[in-house]
Structure 1
Amino acid sequence: MHHLIADQLSFAVFERELATSYGIELGEDVQHHSQARPLQPRDHSRWQRAVAAGVATSAALERRRAELDGAPTTLDWGRERVGRFAFQGVRGATRSSTHLRRSVTQLATRALVTPYTVCLSAYAILLSGRTKSCDLLVGTPIAGRTTPAAESALGYFAITVVVRIRLREDEPFRSLLERTNLVVLEALEHQHVGFNDVVRAVNPSGQPVPGQPLVQAVLAFQGDIRPAPELLGTTSRTVLVDNGSARVDLALEIFEDADEYQLLAIANAQLFARPDVDAALQDYLFVLGRALAEPDAEIGATIAALIDRLGGDAS
């Protein structure tokens, strides 16, 4: 099942149904809940078209355009972009400590935000240190399944929302969490506005830009890592396959795995090599760890410390 037609949640639905059907084929007494699904992808498409044609969506699109107006739409990594974006990727992976994940949860609880917001705020600091910009656009994929009926459907429902984060070097990390939480909630409220529509609204002339349009950095907080399907009489495991592709300059995926985080970074191979990706992962853990240890310290100090780690060169 290709990712072109199935999102992350669809794979989980498919694997559950595969396990059930496999058990039935073996003649096992398996409780089967399969039924005609109340929602099919074509139903969702009709709903999307109806929503897109509505007055409320036009107003929401204008609000999104106003929110993103004036934001830099290209990240400057200090490296020359050669040719068009080629979708060639290089990736690296690492794990956090149990202490770090626990600290993320504790700070999120105290600040009345989600662990995702904590991780996103730290990612913004990482990007600022590497691009020397304090005004950032970060893409984040969300499920796009806004009704209970969609939760058991197969298809590609995931959508990308754009979050604008403006850093103030003299503010503490705790304050950044509050502001980031507000812009995330605002973006989620208008998630029905199509990403392509937002791109066209921000760049109505259609003028080509270096790299991918509007968003060159993505943070995907994936939640619990998907367990391997339980097929009766077999032992199975999930294998992450590197297809050598990248969709943006730098994407960070965070999975909750037992008491730790599993981190996967995928970068544009036209700009970065494998050692760069590994370094970016370690820099992210450095930023996140420092912010968790001193949430009331000014984030400018963390950015400066990150640049020092980079040898004074944010690229």
Structure 2
Amino acid sequence: MTTTATELPAVVTDIAPLSPGQERLFDAEFVLPDGSWPAPGTPTRLRPIDTAAICIDGPLDTAALSRAVTALVARQSALRTTFRRRPDGTPVQFVTDRTPGPMSCQTLHLGAGQDLPTAEELLRHAPARLVDPRHDPLFRARLLRLDQERHVLLLQIHHAVSDGWSIGVLYSDLSELYNAAHAGRDADLPAITRSFAAHSRQMRAERGGPEEQRQLAYWRRRLAPPLPGRPTEPQADGLSPVDVAPVLVPADLVRGLRAAAATSVRRGGVAGPFLAALAVVLHRHGGERDVRIGMMISNRARPGAEHLIGYFVNTAVIRLHVHPQMTAGDLVAAANTAVTEAIEHQALPIQDLYQDLRDTDALGQGPLYRVTLALNSMRTRSLTLDGLHCQDIDLERHGPRRTPTSIEQRWVLDERAGHLAGTLTWRTDTATRPGIAATLTGLDQAMRTVTNPHTTIADITTTLPRATTEAR
């Protein structure tokens, strides 16, 4: 089953520059080393389209779902976007008026005793393939019928037009649009006063302006030299092979982290204690006392941005000084402060900060950070369709098999039903599976011990396993 496009030619309704996040993405994954764009059909480093699968039990109104998908694409202009280059080489995003036509439903026959299709079966119907952002649809919806009252909805969206926050918006919008279509009423959704393209123009206009200069002054102070770090060993193509491991933080542990953050001298959310525990593990394994982690920040402080699908996300550098005699309470408070201030100074594009640090010789030998964290809390549950039970199906993650050389670990976690679940992607030339197993075990132990504010970092690290087989 596919969502088919209308037969009429699409009309371009808006042209806008790339957002800073899209600019980073295209530079890292699509643009060739000489700065040119690849010829159509040429393989690129662009990651595959992401696929989500939702099992829907109950009397699904397929016509209402089809209308909801069409209305979603009409509402969210990022889902109608492709990318081009102007004659002068400037990349731009093209927004069209094209919306999907009626959605068909394909029957999928399960094997004897099979309750749900396997991930391989689902991905055969919606392959996580590479797309060409110049002409391929960057959002797709497909419906599979398992029996009269059980379906699987496959949603595919490319990260060129979405981020972690966007997926929560997509689920919320699609749920309300379906419920309204099923009930025969108007959808009760927040008005979209400015498109993602309009926000991209604003972000471009603010580059180098007074607010960016104010935020740049803060980050210069926060990242004042020295920034110690070992040089990165270059690869021929700037990429390194990676592997992936699942990560699960159970609900009781998440509650403990939240309690520690709420009772800290400087209060915060779950991100602070999690970062503190991760910093302790990195300190234990690498001996570093100056720990820097690149944290994905939503970058949606502008009015109206919270209701949009689009690639707003920015990266903030969380810098923590870890000393054996400091207490867990001190480290959690420092992490809470770093996260709070990062949110207050989230609009400065990380590439602009990086360039400034290089221009002023403040960067040091190594990269700004070697570990990144994306902690998504905008989609805490599945679709909420009236009269139906919806549950997400875990699919094998078909992420990049190679990653930029400077990044050694990528943590991606989503908050679901009180727990955190996701993946750790690591460079196989810097760590082995036994080393990563020690990292995950150590993180679990560190998260449990940083909730005791009086425990010293030395006491915590002595209980953690050491990754003795990390580098190869």
- TM-score, normalised to structure 2's length? 0.57
Match of 2:441 in 1: 282
Match of 2:239 in 1: 86
How big is each residue's C-alpha offset from its partner over 1:137-167, in whole Å with a ceiling of 9 and x where there is no partner? 1111111111341111121111111121111
**CA pair 286-197 structure 1, distance change in 2 beyond 3 A:** same
Matches within 5 A, 1:151-166: 151-166=306-321
Matches within 5 A, 1:174-189: 174-189=329-344
Asked if structure 2 preserves the Cα contact closer than 8 Å seen for 1:228 and 1:238, the reply is no
Distance 1:260 1:24 in 2: 30
Matched, 1:60 2:215: yes
SS of aligned partner of 1:118: helix
Asked if structure 2 preserves the Cα contact closer than 8 Å seen for 1:173 and 1:296, the reply is yes
Distance 1:39 1:55 in 2: 23
User: 283-292 or 200-209: which moved more?
Assistant: 200-209
SS of aligned partner of 2:330: helix
Asked if structure 1 preserves the Cα contact closer than 8 Å seen for 2:271 and 2:339, the reply is no
How big is each residue's C-alpha offset from its partner over 1:250-273, in whole Å with a ceiling of 9 and x where there is no partner? 122333332433252121233334
Rg comparison, structure with higher value:
2
Aligned partner of 1:243 among 374, 398, 423: 398
Match of 1:168 in 2: 323
Matched, 1:218 2:403: no
Aligned partner of 1:272 among 431, 448, 454: 431
Matched, 1:256 2:410: no
Asked if structure 1 preserves the Cα contact closer than 8 Å seen for 2:171 and 2:379, the reply is no
Residue identity in the other structure for 2:431: F
Matched, 1:17 2:173: yes
Distance 1:242 1:146 in 2: 30
Aligned-residue CA RMSD in angstroms?
Answer: 3.3
Identity of matched residues, %:
21
TM-superposed CA distance for 1:17, in Å, is 3.4
Matched, 1:47 2:202: yes
Match of 2:273 in 1: 118
Match of 2:381 in 1: 227
Residue identity in the other structure for 1:262: A
How big is each residue's C-alpha offset from its partner over 1:153-203, in whole Å with a ceiling of 9 and x where there is no partner? 121111111121111221101011222222333322221211001111222
Match of 2:346 in 1: 191
Asked if structure 2 preserves the Cα contact closer than 8 Å seen for 1:96 and 1:263, the reply is no
Asked if structure 1 preserves the Cα contact closer than 8 Å seen for 2:295 and 2:316, the reply is yes
Aligned partner of 2:463 among 296, 299, 305: 305
Q: Which structure dedicates a bigger proportion of its chain to strand?
A: 2
Residue segments in structure 1 that go unaligned for 5+ positions in a row: none
Residue identity in the other structure for 1:13: V
Q: How many residues are matched?
A: 308
How big is each residue's C-alpha offset from its partner over 1:221-251, in whole Å with a ceiling of 9 and x where there is no partner? 2226543334576855243442242463112
SS of aligned partner of 1:203: helix
